């Protein structure tokens, strides 16, 4: 009887640990109406679970700790209210990606992955039939033809491989990676919340017949024309103070439920940077990656940062854990306050001295006298190359100027 019990326990333990996931690089895809959207996954053992990162060009974006439950791999992305759940069968994963939207409904798409594959779109790419310029003037048009968005496409090519991004007035499309396949450009990105697929035909100096799919069913058409001097409207002229105002004013709570005001003693006589953002926002995430270490290095110079976080819900039981997780993930030492919900119209109401909030993030620079000196809409992240470098240089120049002024 004891021997039978022992054999049963061994069998149970063996069954419990029967799902072993291969570690290394996997080629993953998510299904969209434009076809499969590919991206890389790096999976490594970490304690009793797995460390998983999404690979997009130069970016390795770490997800939350993954784990095996029953026969499936679970990859949570709590900061984005998203997850991947996929059944593990040898060198294949099959399942779904699921994400909660701002209205608390869910979207879902099929997910697949294959071990040991490192290509994006073309497994054995031939020399491209057409060349790709580094900069394009791009126009995106909504499916119903009612809205359009001006953009700048910036690309780097190495043989048939392409990396780059699209810049808009409210931010960029982060790290895109792909290939030139025949006469076509194909790019994609997956970072947990952004699920982007771009295709277009290269026709001389033009990109034509473009499609942009955001999973599972979003679609816009687009086209581009080579233009080395393509620029967006001045990001410092889009959001501004209404006539009669010289500064912003607010009273919001931090995650300790303590009210914080801009005219608190902590901020008097200092240069203050206000970061309008949200934990759900990848462009804000990129800005926080810059601001958090910058603040650690520069706070003793007489500068402060305050984050105003606009979340999917203003309920503190929902929003506070999101903000705390974001602060921990990016090492944010400055105050991040719950300011409201992530609807742009509602966000604008919380700061009525502004003409409007048109994008997350938006960055407000305040001098030692408490007056607004500049408001910058959007953020060109590191995926945009020299545009990111320009932002960093302009940021530092402005801060140096404001710090040099007398109170």
d(CA 83, CA 87): 13
Give the pLDDT confidence score for residue 7 in this predicted structure. Answer: 39
The structural architecture, per CATH, of the domain 251-404 is 3-Layer(aba) Sandwich (3.40)
Strands 161-168 and 171-172: antiparallel
Across residues 148-166, what is the average pLDDT? 95
The conformation of residue 248, written as its DSSP 8-state character, comes to -
CATH of domain 15-115: 2.40.128.120
SS (H, E, C) 1-45: CHHHHHHHHHHHHHHHCCCCCCCEEEEEEEEECCEEEEEEEEEEE
Give the pLDDT confidence score for residue 18 in this predicted structure. Answer: 56
Task: Please determine, for residue 144, whether its predicted confidence score (pLDDT) is greater than 80.
Answer: yes
Give the pLDDT confidence score for residue 102 in this predicted structure. Answer: 81
Task: Please determine, for residue 1, whether its predicted confidence score (pLDDT) is greater than 70.
Answer: no
pLDDT band at 12 (very low <50, low <70, confident <90, very high): very low
Q: Do domains 135-226 and 251-404 have the same CATH topology?
A: no
Give the pLDDT confidence score for residue 128 in this predicted structure. Answer: 80
Strands 106-115 and 24-32: antiparallel
What angle do the packed helices 282-298 and 316-330 form, to 10 degrees? 60
Query: Could you tell me which residues come within 8 angstroms of residue 73 by beta carbon, excluding any fewer than 6 positions away?
Result: 21, 50, 66, 67, 84, 85, 86, 87, 88, 93, 95
* pLDDT tens, residue by residue, 189-231: 999 988 999 999 999 999 999 999 997 889 999 999 999 999 9
* pLDDT tens, residue by residue, 40-87: 999 999 999 999 999 999 899 999 999 999 899 999 999 899 999 999
* pLDDT tens, residue by residue, 307-357: 999 999 999 999 999 999 999 999 999 999 999 999 999 999 999 999 999
Domain boundaries, the chain: 15-115, 135-226, 251-404
Give the pLDDT confidence score for residue 127 in this predicted structure. Answer: 79
Query: Could you tell me which residues come within 8 angstroms of residue 94 by beta carbon, excluding any fewer than 6 positions away?
Result: 86, 87, 111, 112
Task: Please determine, for residue 181, whether its predicted confidence score (pLDDT) is greater than 90.
Answer: yes
Cβ proximity of 254 and 292 under 8 Å: no
Give the pLDDT confidence score for residue 346 in this predicted structure. Answer: 92
* pLDDT tens, residue by residue, 242-289: 999 999 999 999 999 999 999 999 999 999 999 999 999 989 999 999
Task: Please determine, for residue 140, whether its predicted confidence score (pLDDT) is greater than 50.
Answer: yes
Task: Please determine, for residue 162, whether its predicted confidence score (pLDDT) is greater than 50.
Answer: yes
Give the pLDDT confidence score for residue 42 in this predicted structure. Answer: 97
pLDDT band at 9 (very low <50, low <70, confident <90, very high): very low
For a pLDDT cut of 90, what percent of the chain falls above it? Answer: 86
Q: What is the CB-side half-sphere exposure of residue 309 using CA atoms within 13 A?
A: 31
Mean pLDDT estimate for the chain: 92
Cβ proximity of 250 and 334 under 8 Å: no
Across residues 111-129, what is the average pLDDT? 90
Across residues 168-177, what is the average pLDDT? 93
Give the pLDDT confidence score for residue 405 in this predicted structure. Answer: 96
The structural architecture, per CATH, of the domain 135-226 is Beta Barrel (2.40)
d(CA 137, CA 151): 6
In angstroms and rounded to an integer, the radius of gyration of the C-alpha atoms of the chain is 23
Across residues 358-365, what is the average pLDDT? 96
Cβ atoms within 10 A of the Cβ of 192, count?
23
Task: Please determine, for residue 291, whether its predicted confidence score (pLDDT) is greater than 80.
Answer: yes
Query: Could you tell me which residues come within 8 angstroms of residue 83 by beta carbon, excluding any fewer than 6 positions away?
Result: 74, 75, 76, 77, 97, 98, 99
């Amino acid at each position: 009887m004891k021997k039978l019990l022992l054999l049963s326990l061994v069998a149970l333990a063996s069954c419990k640990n029967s799902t072993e996931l291969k570690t290394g690089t996997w080629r993953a895809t998510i299904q969209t109406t434009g076809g499969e959207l590919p991206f890389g996954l790096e999976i490594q053992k970490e304690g009793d679970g797995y460390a998983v990162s999404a690979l997009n060009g130069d970016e390795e974006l770490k997800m939350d700790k993954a784990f095996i439950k029953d026969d499936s791999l679970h990859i949570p992305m709590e900061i984005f209210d998203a997850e991947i759940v996929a059944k593990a069968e040898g060198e294949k994963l099959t399942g779904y990606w699921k994400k909660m939207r701002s209205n608390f409904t869910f979207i879902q798409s099929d997910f697949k992955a294959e071990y040991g594959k490192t290509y994006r779109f073309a497994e054995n790419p031939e020399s491209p039939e057409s060349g790709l310029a580094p900069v394009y003037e791009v126009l995106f048009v909504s499916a119903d033809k009612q809205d359009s968005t001006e953009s700048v496409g910036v690309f780097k090519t190495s043989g048939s491989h392409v990396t780059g991004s699209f810049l808009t007035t409210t931010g960029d499309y982060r790290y895109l990676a792909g290939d030139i396949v025949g006469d076509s450009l194909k790019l994609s990105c997956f970072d947990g919340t952004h699920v982007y697929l771009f295709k277009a035909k290269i026709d001389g100096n033009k990109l034509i017949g473009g499609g942009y799919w955001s999973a599972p069913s979003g679609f816009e058409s687009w086209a581009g024309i080579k233009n080395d001097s393509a620029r967006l409207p001045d990001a410092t002229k889009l959001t501004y103070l209404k006539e009669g105002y010289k500064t912003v004013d607010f009273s919001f709570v931090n995650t300790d439920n303590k009210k914080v005001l801009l005219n608190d003693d902590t901020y008097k006589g200092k240069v203050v940077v206000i970061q309008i953002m949200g934990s759900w926002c990848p462009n804000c995430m990129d800005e926080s990656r810059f601001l958090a270490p910058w603040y650690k290095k520069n706070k003793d110079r007489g500068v402060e940062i305050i984050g105003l976080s606009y979340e999917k819900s203003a309920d503190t039981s929902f929003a506070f854990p999101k903000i705390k997780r974001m602060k921990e993930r990016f090492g944010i030492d400055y105050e991040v306050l719950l300011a409201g919900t992530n609807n742009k119209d509602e966000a604008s109401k919380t700061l009525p001295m502004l003409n409007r909030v048109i994008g997350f993030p938006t960055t407000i620079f305040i001098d030692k006298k408490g007056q607004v000196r500049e408001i910058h809409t959007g953020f060109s992240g590191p995926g945009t190359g020299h545009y990111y470098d320009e932002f960093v240089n302009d940021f530092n120049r402005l801060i140096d100027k404001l710090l040099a002024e007398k109170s």
